[in-house]
Amino acid sequence: MLAQVKAVLEREKRVVSLYPETVSGRQVLAAFGFSNIEEFSFARDIGIERGEQFAALRTLGLGTRASYNKGLQCDSWQFGTTVPAAETLLSFVRDEREAAARGTTVKALRADRAEREERKSRKMKAASG
């Protein structure tokens, strides 16, 4: 396991330092927030550097390549965009779930938020001016 982790880190041009023999590769990965080498490699492939970021994907059910790709498809069907960054996809999935709970669409939810922010900004300008 350590050899696999080391190889991935070297391939990605990361500084490699091996832990004492008493620590397993799985323990090293867990210390960085990943449960296995596949998860670590997948996270790097989609531009995620930290385990906390990947935990957010896992929480939303996007912790595998298949589920992540399904989320990308939903995003592109909604917005017709190119492949979004992981953070953008996370935002979309959160909004999609909130919209479903409210019985509306992601576009309507985001438009409502933008309108509220605009009203808030106008109020602040009026109060300061």
The per-residue pLDDT string of the chain (129 residues; one tens digit each, 9 = 90 and over) reads 778 877 877 787 766 666 555 667 788 788 888 888 888 888 888 888 888 888 888 888 888 888 888 888 776 655 565 666 788 888 888 898 899 999 998 889 999 999 999 999 888 888 876
How many angstroms separate the CA atoms of 36 and 88, rounded?
A: 24
Q: For the chain, which residues make up each domain, given as ranges?
A: 32-128
d(CA 78, CA 106): 8
Helices (H), the chain: 2-11, 25-31, 37-45, 51-59, 65-79, 86-102, 106-128
The pLDDT value recorded for residue 113 is 92
pLDDT computed for residue 82 by the predictor: 65
What's the pLDDT score for residue 38? 87
CA distance linking residue 56 with residue 90, whole number of Å: 8
